Amino acid sequence: MNLEGLINISGKNGLFKVISNSKNMIIVESLVDKKRIPVHSGNQANMLEEIGIYTYNDTKPLSSVFEDIAKKRIIIKLYHTNYQKMN
């Protein structure tokens, strides 16, 4: 899963795609309504590709966690489909 160029901004709903950046701000576009807004250097923003989830052994990248969830959902769907066919 490619999370490159996607960010979340503290105090703003949803996720945003980075359109351009300069020294003091970046321009982002909402993934929901496609509105573009400036984000100044004082705002707290996190690149999704840099977010990690702590586990017992190490830190997993967020993209890896999303991929694992997607695989488990597919397995559960297959299980339910096969179970319904048997009954």
Domain boundaries, the chain: 1-49, 51-87
Mean pLDDT by 10 residues, the chain (87 residues): 88 93 92 94 89 91 88 77 67
Residue type, 49: E
How high is the pLDDT of residue 83?
65
Q: Which fold has domain 1-49?
A: SH3 type barrels. (2.30.30)
7 touches 48 (CB < 8 A): yes
Residues in the chain: 87
| Entry pTM | 0.69
- Nearest-angstrom CA–CA distance, 64 and 84: 31
Residue with tokens 């351009």: 20
**Structure tokens belonging to residue 79:** 């299980």
